[in-house]
Structure 1
Amino acid sequence: MANRYNRVITDVDVRSNENNLAHRTREIDRERLIVRRGQSFSITLQCSKPLPPKHDLELVLNVGKKDRTLIKVHKEQGAGERWWFNHQGVQDEILLNLHSPANAIIGQYSLTVQLMSPESHIIEKTDKIKFHLLFNPWCKDDVVYLPDESLLQEYIMNENGVIYMGSKDYIRSLHWNYGQFENYIMDICFEILDNSSESLRNYQLDSEKRGDPVYIGRIISAMINSNDDRGVLTGRWQEPYTDGVSPTRWTGSVPILQKWSKAGTSAVKYGQCWVFAAVACTVLRCLGIPTRVITNFNSAHDVDGNLSLDVFYNERLERLDRGNRDSSWNFHCWVESWMRRSDLPKGNDGWQVLDPTPQELSEGKFCCGPCPVAAIKEGNLTVKYDAPFIFAEVNADIVEWVVRRDGQKQKARVDESSVGMYISTKGVWGDHREDVTQNYKYPEGSIKEREAYKKAGRRSPIPNNVTAEPNNLEMIIKHTKPVFGTDFDVIIEVRNDGVKDVQAQLTVLAVAMTYNSIHRGECKRQKVNLSLPARKVHREVLRLHYDDYVSCVSEHYLIGLKAFLEVPGENEPIMKTVNIPLSKPELLIQVPGKAMLFEQLTSTISFTNPLPVPLKGGVFTVEGAGLLSVAEVHVKEDIAPGQKVSVKLLFTPMKTGVRKLMVDFDSDRLKDVKGVATLVVRKRNPVIATCF
């Protein structure tokens, strides 16, 4: 090989600024070359002299950190599903144009440029050219192609999200910083792939499969939870969280991913469904797969696959553990990713469910999906992956039983319609909620719905025009939207539509709950005998004081209320249940002045204690993609009841565009208080000097 003083190729310019702009990756990095598959990019070789006559260039690629997969780059335009290149000499430069196939392996590549003699001997080579290749949803030949630019701006480029939580009657918004373009997040995404069980078992085979978004989605679904691998997050669904971070405290994916990587792939504590889904969304968007977070209200967890959730209570309305892990969650979050499914029959392209929350095993691993949303709607439960479980999440029946002291079971409530309601995601044109229930289900009682149920192998629901046997007694639970820290009333209305007076017994039980139906303790119980006159309505009031629920309420601030009505001599009791979320105050965030790139801003964060007791150990946690890394501001003094506290925080915007500043407040007695401020960061126009 020629010594370095006689080399023809003296330097390389990967033209990252131009290439990254054209490939929509400049938000990730402006220095390193990051490109998308199926789209050409160019590299400039600096030469000491023109190529010698009859000499030529040969290009070889290695993919992955271990450089085990060799790819020869063909010198022919339009080489089908192969890498190809052409080049042209301009003065003392050679411009290389490379084109990757639309199904290329994603990952880190090393490019070797070899100068070949007429006898096909290597004269010299340059082998320190590195770049990353991602999926390309802008390329129509890529299986993740999404033809709508507005959708791509939301599901790939938007670093700010809204996740929906709460209950079907009180849907609340959680702003989330996905941060998929923050520093080194892309590297962490590939680190996640490299630490999967598949990669550790057979790196070569795993690397060769990384061109398939179905495979990648399944790997990410497994790796976001740490149940059976080196995954990112450990799940925990009730306190204490003293050896980690409460799931409700997180406001973004970036600190979670950074913490996992810095700890040498040791799992971060703790996550729950919306945290698992949000982190998965960050990783998939970063890799180039259009993704959005979905929330399903009244979500069923059907363990035995019979599409029915059987819940048992004793006569005190306390839930019994009868070895059945079926449950109904107030809400459950997963993600949808957009891709064509060439591995499935026609009609299964589009949005695919991926659920990284560890619930049930899928082919021996805690993962779920990808499963076509279209298959769930049609009841096609034989398609890959995990269609029966997902179908049950949005379609299962709920059957509640009371087990008498003698062991006899009495059916108290059958609910065929409330599972899978208000299925929601953030809208494309702003922070509003978009209801996508129609993507998963046909309208209740419709012919199409009954056809889908039949195909899924379950009985059809009762059509809307068919009524069950009438009951003379009807019970309704009414309540306001109470604020945590206040006293409030729950009203149980019992209507007697019969022609005779009725004597009945009413039991009302209020318990503290988590969002996924774990009971934390009894708040209050009330048992009364009622005289129900014919054609009249009786109202019974249950008063809940702050002291009744404060000692046992969960971090989800949720009260579950059950009303159980029995009439002597009647076989069928009446049971009604309702979940009552306790709302929390919002933080006030003020950022005066215009937000300019690289110019310091001062934010003021204010909060008023709504509780009748002091708050101790207050801390504000602040973050925002393109604005600042996670920062904490501690409140040194106790915050008295009704007291307003304000803190100031300085930060310097690092990126232009619409940015979100997100704040979380936690203390000993009040946690998960959120606030968000929207900023538009601009570049300051340069001052142009004028001479007279």
Structure 2
Amino acid sequence: MANHKGLIVDVDLRSHENNLFHRTREIDRQRLIVRRGQPFSITLQLSDSLPPKHHVELVLNLGKRDKTGIKVQTERGAGDKWWFTHQGAQDEMLLTLHSPADAIIGQYHLGVLVMSPDGRILEKIDQKSFHLLFNPWCKDDVVYLPDESQLQEYVMNEDGVIFMGTWDYINSIPWNYGQFEDFVMDICFEVLDNSKDALKNSERDLELRSDPVYVSRMITAMVNSNGDRGVLTGRWEEPYLEGMAPHRWAGSVPILRQWSKAGARAVKYGQCWVFAGVACSVLRCLGIPTRLITNFNSAHDVDGNLSVDFLLNERLESRREKGDSSWNFHCWVESWMRRDDLPKGNDGWQVLDPTPQELSDGEFCCGPCPVTAIKEGNLGVKYDAPFVFAEVNADIVHWIIKQDGQRQKIRVDQGSVGRNISTKSVYGDFRDDVTLQYKYPEGSKKEREVYEKAGRRVTEPTNESAEPAQLQLSIKHTKPVFGTDFDVFVEVKNEGSRDAHAQLTMLAMAVTYNSLHRGECQRQTASVTVQAHKVHREVLRLHYEDYGRCVSEHHLIRVKALLEAPGENEPIMAVANIPLSMPELLVQVPGKAFLWEQVTAYMSFTNPLPVPLKGGVFTVEGAGLLSHTEIRVKGDISPGQKVSVKLSFSPVRTGVRKLLVDFDSDRLKDVKGVATVVVRKKYTPLFTGFH
């Protein structure tokens, strides 16, 4: 180094301007965060103008590597090189850096060198660092998405809606993705740094971080904690000891922060929508357009035969064998990217499923799998296409196992799996149906072709007897409210020309959303006579005191009816899932909301149950508003009693924000409420008088 006084007085990364142009200002105002393939500028303050023939060089180091880094070229190179231009007056120089559109994402350390004409380093400043993210606004980036309204939703929106319930009674909960909340970006990179691949070979892992296929696959493996240092532990039934019940989470941020704070120790507990919510937050934060998908009647086909087999004993009780299952709904995410690793026609939305179900290349991860490959039945395409195809296309077959061990097939559903595949609309909190992106219309010629291509046996209707089935069975119900007594109607229709005598068994049981049985609530058997061309109706009365004991936190009753007419038909079965609706939780934030000024939220609801509620707790959070906060209710809440709580907080970011509230107690769980809060900057006049 020369012994002259320092030439470089300061390096200004111009975070404020750059972050605004790179759409990262929501993440941070102080630190420089930029997107790849898009230029950004920094300023050098010099003590004097550079002597003749002296010049500035830039060097980048990636991550924790201190080896000789990437030299930034001074002329525009090929697209795969970093390069910069400079313009300057006396004591100031503006440098514009250009990153390639396939640069590695992560933290870079910038070295600024002043070089003498003979190539000696006269001065070096290298304590400056910045983060680089994927850039879906850049047409050369493989995550490029040309539609601005979709970018606003799938990258920039921190408030989500997750659809749940059953295919015929769809409800939703709000979810706070919070991808731009404080330190969330740092935690996202921490998640990548803790993956098995990164811990095994960090050099190789860093090089692969230019590829969203690799990065998204790592994230689906790391959101669940099966077999690695992942974020969330799954648990599908109570008790949720030493952790938080999955339905109590209202967003991803407390989960990510808790994982990071505990030194990459898994947070308890998650179920599919929680895994998907966290994955969506991480992917959006890193700049990969992502949306959360709900598939209703989702099949989990373990043996890969595109058929989900349910075995029942003669009492209609499920024989729980480790194996196939069907979930009322299942959530995953789709991320948008070009698939240069696959043949043409596989670009666009890719299924990624972070819920640990089956191993994929030895890891609990799933995807990215092109949605188009599922629709066309191209199951050789990586990753995990056969598994995803079955989730939306498998047949469901019910068997009764007789006492002598014989199996009798009593019901085949070919069109019931993969119904109403849903995501939040770009235009608001309502539902977009994307089923036709996953499959051709049920029963169409094209659908049959896809099944055959996928190796699925196409079962034509069997024509064993020319005479149609004489008896038909159906279950009808209203939309009952949790806490009330209600009726379920089982109807037997006789299409035949003579009276029919049959045995009818009706069974109501509590189930979780993924079909785990929580106990029998009611059972009724009746001998029925149905006159020719008539309908016979039986009523099954369900009392709160019967179902309240065993109902799960998903508030779901499954009713099965089995009709056996000796010598007439094969036994027939009907199944209905009845979701019990929740009371309304009212959330109000009166008055105007200003940045950094206190506002008060009021929350209330009325206990609809005929029993008191104990251990009541409200959980409140909202991106840009406040962190995860709990308010405990003192004492019991009597039947019919209205409970009200209030909470004051100061918004930390402007814009349209959502305040999410969850209420939980011993007998009533998962009651949700939401309020929209518009946060403005306070206008301050130049001359302020007395307040």
TM-score (norm 2): 0.98
- 2:479 is aligned, of 474, 478, 481, to 481
1:114 has 2:113 as partner = yes
Q: 2-side partners of 1:455 and 1:87: how far apart? A: 58
1:228 has 2:227 as partner = yes
Q: 2-side partners of 1:627 and 1:462: how far apart? A: 57
Q: 2:27 matched to which residue of 1?
A: 28
Q: 1:579 matched to which residue of 2?
A: 577
Alpha-carbon deviations, 1:28-84, whole Å to 9, x = none?
000000000000001111111111111112211111134458211111125321100
* Secondary structure, aligned partner of 1:6: coil
Give 1:459 deviation, angstroms.
2.5
Q: 2-side partners of 1:625 and 1:374: how far apart? A: 34
* Secondary structure, aligned partner of 1:21: helix
- 1:609 is aligned, of 607, 610, 618, to 607
Q: 1-side partners of 2:594 and 2:466: how far apart? A: 64
Identity level (%): 72
Q: 1:440 matched to which residue of 2?
A: 438
Alpha-carbon deviations, 1:605-650, whole Å to 9, x = none?
0111001111111111100000011111111121110000111110
Q: 1:40 matched to which residue of 2?
A: 39
Give 1:488 deviation, angstroms.
0.6
Range with bigger deviation, 486-495 or 5-14: 5-14
Q: 1-side partners of 2:459 and 2:585: how far apart? A: 45
Q: 2:256 matched to which residue of 1?
A: 257
Q: 2:621 matched to which residue of 1?
A: 623
> CA 1:489/1:690 → structure 2, altered by over 3 Å: closer, same or farther?
closer
Alpha-carbon deviations, 1:509-536, whole Å to 9, x = none?
1111011111011111111111111111
Q: 2-side partners of 1:369 and 1:169: how far apart? A: 28
Decide whether the 8 Å contact of 1:69 with 1:204 is kept in 2: no
Aligned residue identity for 2:508: A
Range with bigger deviation, 71-80 or 312-321: 71-80
Alpha-carbon deviations, 1:123-150, whole Å to 9, x = none?
1111111000000000000000000000
Give 1:679 deviation, angstroms.
1.4
Range with bigger deviation, 244-253 or 677-686: 677-686
Decide whether the 8 Å contact of 2:134 with 2:288 is kept in 1: yes
- 2:448 is aligned, of 440, 447, 450, to 450
* Secondary structure, aligned partner of 1:390: helix
> CA 1:188/1:413 → structure 2, altered by over 3 Å: closer, same or farther?
same
1:354 has 2:352 as partner = yes
Aligned residue identity for 2:294: T
Decide whether the 8 Å contact of 2:399 with 2:408 is kept in 1: yes
Q: 2-side partners of 1:91 and 1:642: how far apart? A: 77
Q: 1:551 matched to which residue of 2?
A: 549
Decide whether the 8 Å contact of 1:308 with 1:397 is kept in 2: yes
Decide whether the 8 Å contact of 2:108 with 2:131 is kept in 1: yes
1:480-519 equivalences under 5 Å are 480-519=478-517
Decide whether the 8 Å contact of 1:510 with 1:522 is kept in 2: yes
Q: 2:420 matched to which residue of 1?
A: 422
Q: 1:678 matched to which residue of 2?
A: 676
Q: 2-side partners of 1:591 and 1:122: how far apart? A: 60
1:288-687 equivalences under 5 Å are 288-321=287-320, 323-460=321-458, 462=460, 470-570=468-568, 572-687=570-685
Unaligned runs of 5+ in 2: none
Decide whether the 8 Å contact of 1:445 with 1:461 is kept in 2: no
Q: Figure out how many residues of one structure are paired with residues of the other and give that number.
A: 689
Give 1:674 deviation, angstroms.
0.5
Alpha-carbon deviations, 1:158-186, whole Å to 9, x = none?
00000000101111111000000000000
Q: 2-side partners of 1:568 and 1:574: how far apart? A: 12
* Secondary structure, aligned partner of 1:108: strand
Q: 2-side partners of 1:633 and 1:69: how far apart? A: 53
TM-score (norm 1): 0.98
Unaligned runs of 5+ in 1: none
| Aligned alpha-carbon RMSD (Å) | 1.7
Give 1:653 deviation, angstroms.
1.1
Q: 1:215 matched to which residue of 2?
A: 214
> CA 1:68/1:358 → structure 2, altered by over 3 Å: closer, same or farther?
farther
Give 1:370 deviation, angstroms.
0.0
Q: 2-side partners of 1:387 and 1:375: how far apart? A: 7
* Secondary structure, aligned partner of 2:567: coil
Decide whether the 8 Å contact of 1:597 with 1:684 is kept in 2: yes
Decide whether the 8 Å contact of 1:450 with 1:461 is kept in 2: no
Q: 1-side partners of 2:112 and 2:435: how far apart? A: 53
Give 1:324 deviation, angstroms.
4.8
Alpha-carbon deviations, 1:211-237, whole Å to 9, x = none?
000000100000000001000000000
Q: 1-side partners of 2:352 and 2:416: how far apart? A: 23
Alpha-carbon deviations, 1:572-624, whole Å to 9, x = none?
11001111111111210111111222221111101110011111111111000
Q: 1:143 matched to which residue of 2?
A: 142
